[in-house]
Structure 1
Amino acid sequence: MRPCLIALLTSSVLALPAVAQTSYPLELENCGSRLTFDAAPKNVVTVGQAATEILYELGLADKVIGTSVWFTGVLPEFAEVNAGIERLADNDPSFESVVAKRPDLVAVQYEWHIGPQGIVATRDQFADLGIPTYTLPTDCIGKDNTAGSDGTRLEMFTMDSLWQGVRDLARIFDVPERGEALVAELREREAAAIEAARTLDLRDASAVFWFSSAEMDMDPYVAGRRGPPAYMMEALGLRNVVESDEEWPVVSWENIARTNPSVIVIAEMDRRRFEADDVERKLEFLKSDPVTSQMEAVRNNRIVVINAHAMDPSIRNIAALEALADALPKLALP
């Protein structure tokens, strides 16, 4: 567990209301399923980096027996412990590889991996083997995962769904006080980043978040108007130039150029599924393409690089919020 979180846990005895230990059997409603735990799971397999890092932050790395679905390297403070845990797959694990670990719980980031049409399996398939699955609420609250490859947001993402996931996992593993302490730490950092951006008094600044592209010369995957990047933009006083409710819609560079965003935020990741996963290739494209090279943000070098996983619902959203708040004063925005 990180030193700052240990300190926060210590101080939380005085700063936070007393938190009762988990009372079992514990019953939870989770993304349309009802879960019952008679005791804290002895071990867990994660399908999704967000779930993995939440468990690590909660001091539960010793319970994790397998991980999968990695966009980028683990948070540096967990590099050593993560190196000793089996990685079932960099991307999508097989159903058989997860089941072979005989987990007491599978913690899931995306319903498209484990859900009604899960590419790994359905929740029922795991339940038939007596293995409960917990899906992070960030992927189901206010979201329709039956539409589009990454789903469609029905309402604006808020950090409340992330806090719920942290607290649920902490309760499941009978460490609720750690969950409350982690949420308190992240909320404090969130408020500070938002306040820092407010002092800039931005009038008409706009932005677009570019995650990747299937091919460099194809239309990019950019952040829709209701996902985590949209929340960040709204919180910091930036207008999202993309109006789609899809999580990561494909929008042409010609249409993006017409909206002339003040800032372009691009994702940096270790994954290399697509050529545009490479941040250097993204930068090269922006500066050389006849359309993008003429955009105000490119000509004025208003390009901000953030971790790709921080663009997905995860505890890294707060670090991304801080990074953007820190970058904005240096960009001479309107």
Structure 2
Amino acid sequence: MPWRRAAFAAALLFPLAACTTQAQPEAAGSTAPGFPYTVTNCGVTTTFTAPPKRAVTMNQHATEVMLELGLAKSLVGTAYLDDKVLPKYAADYRAAPVLAAEYPSYEKLLSANPDYVYGGYASAFAANEGRGREALAKSGITSRLNVENCPKGATTTMDDVYQEVREVGRTFGVADRAESWVREAEATNARTRAEHAGAAPVSVFVYDSGDKTAFTVGGKGIGNDIVTRAGGRNIVAGDLKDKSFGDASWENVVARAPEVILILDYGGTSVEAKKKRLRDDPALASVPAVKNGRFAVLPLSDMVTGVRAPDAVAKLAGQLRAGAGR
């Protein structure tokens, strides 16, 4: 989908918005219990003397981290869903104002009077649209960018998911809730690993979207770690080793002959339409996954650094071992 490519392209176009180091002044008055707390996030160092009171989340996985930690009352605005929030979050999500279907303008963002903005993708803080982290800081607004989108060379793993939840929990004074979630997530990952131990890896191609080229999961992001933990082998991880998402050629897909194609479910194109596009392409007729009808499906929100990641591993592992959804 074009907007998906644009969102990830923005991470390259606006790196300074994500990596400029700045020290936030401490607020006047008494310090809240458990504070001050200083955190460095994507090169931006912030000291909190109390939890933020008026948060805006941009991108679904940021919103769901907040809701999982019981912070719905701190939300004064949200923006940019990829798909539906999980049912357990639905009531809390409906209670939060939606500032924009995609990203709000800087003026719309300021109209919510936030003291904290939490972005899931680097494009949330696009400097040329006025939402850069420096600009927010000058307005007295602290910010956070999901760690998967920090401009760094290291790959993103489940440990980064734990870090993300812990740091958000600590920022909002609910470190105990964050640690409880991490313990449950570790247990989920341990169960999945034990249930599928010893099975040979299944070659997997992740299909997000695209016709002339295939927009897919690269080797750098949490999506690749999810595939690996589920017992899969991402066939283009080496080609896109420096990207969370990127474009792969269909020629490479054919040459690598994936046993399973994992379809990401979101947006206006249905899973069935994506399957039809793959089945109807004569160039893909020899691909084992297409020939044998081996398609797995996950929502896009499962494949980013958020609270869905451990369950996503378990769901994908089950589909890979069961022959996937035919």
Q: TM-score, normalised by structure 1?
A: 0.82
When residues 106 and 88 of structure 1 are mapped into structure 2, their CA distance, relative to the original with a 3 A threshold, is same
Letter of the 2:142 counterpart: P
When residues 219 and 22 of structure 1 are mapped into structure 2, their CA distance, relative to the original with a 3 A threshold, is farther
Alpha-carbon distance, 1:330 to partner = 1.5
Measure, in 2, the Cα distance between the counterparts of 1:24 and 1:66: 25
Measure, in 2, the Cα distance between the counterparts of 1:105 and 1:197: 41
In the alignment, which residue of structure 1 is the partner of 2:113? 102
Alpha-carbon distance, 1:118 to partner = 6.2
Measure, in 2, the Cα distance between the counterparts of 1:288 and 1:36: 55
Alpha-carbon distance, 1:22 to partner = 5.4
Measure, in 1, the Cα distance between the counterparts of 2:81 and 2:262: 21
1:235 is aligned to 2:229: yes
1:198 is aligned to 2:213: no
CA deviation profile, 1:234-264 (whole Å, cap 9, x unmatched): 2233222102122212112222011101110
In the alignment, which residue of structure 2 is the partner of 1:134? 144
> Do the aligned residues in 2 keep the contact of 1:68 with 1:90 (CA within 8 Å)?
yes
When residues 118 and 61 of structure 1 are mapped into structure 2, their CA distance, relative to the original with a 3 A threshold, is farther
Alpha-carbon distance, 1:114 to partner = 1.1
In the alignment, which residue of structure 1 is the partner of 2:206? 209
When residues 189 and 22 of structure 1 are mapped into structure 2, their CA distance, relative to the original with a 3 A threshold, is farther
> Do the aligned residues in 2 keep the contact of 1:93 with 1:120 (CA within 8 Å)?
no
In the alignment, which residue of structure 2 is the partner of 1:5? none
Measure, in 2, the Cα distance between the counterparts of 1:236 and 1:318: 10
Match of 2:265 among 236, 255, 268: 268
Question: Where has structure 1 moved over 6 Å in runs of 4 or more?
Answer: none
Q: Which runs of 5+ in 2 are unaligned?
A: 1-31
In the alignment, which residue of structure 1 is the partner of 2:169? 170
> Do the aligned residues in 1 keep the contact of 2:148 with 2:222 (CA within 8 Å)?
no
Measure, in 2, the Cα distance between the counterparts of 1:56 and 1:318: 17
In the alignment, which residue of structure 1 is the partner of 2:56? 45
Letter of the 1:98 counterpart: L
In the alignment, which residue of structure 2 is the partner of 1:73? 84
Residue range with higher mean Cα deviation, 287-296 or 118-127: 118-127
Letter of the 2:312 counterpart: A
Q: Which runs of 5+ in 1 are unaligned?
A: 1-20, 145-153
Alpha-carbon distance, 1:28 to partner = 1.2
Alpha-carbon distance, 1:205 to partner = 2.5
> Do the aligned residues in 2 keep the contact of 1:194 with 1:325 (CA within 8 Å)?
no
> Do the aligned residues in 1 keep the contact of 2:156 with 2:222 (CA within 8 Å)?
yes
> Do the aligned residues in 2 keep the contact of 1:27 with 1:37 (CA within 8 Å)?
yes
Cα RMSD after superposing both structures: 1.8
Report 1:52-63 matches (<5 A): 52-63=63-74
> Do the aligned residues in 2 keep the contact of 1:105 with 1:131 (CA within 8 Å)?
yes
When residues 159 and 23 of structure 1 are mapped into structure 2, their CA distance, relative to the original with a 3 A threshold, is same
Letter of the 1:29 counterpart: T
Measure, in 2, the Cα distance between the counterparts of 1:155 and 1:197: 27
Measure, in 1, the Cα distance between the counterparts of 2:221 and 2:37: 30
Residue range with higher mean Cα deviation, 118-127 or 79-88: 118-127
Measure, in 2, the Cα distance between the counterparts of 1:119 and 1:208: 34
In the alignment, which residue of structure 1 is the partner of 2:135? 125
1:93 is aligned to 2:90: no
CA deviation profile, 1:108-163 (whole Å, cap 9, x unmatched): 11222216x464511011011101111222321xx44xxxxxxxxx2332111121
Match of 2:94 among 73, 83, 87: 83
Measure, in 2, the Cα distance between the counterparts of 1:126 and 1:26: 20
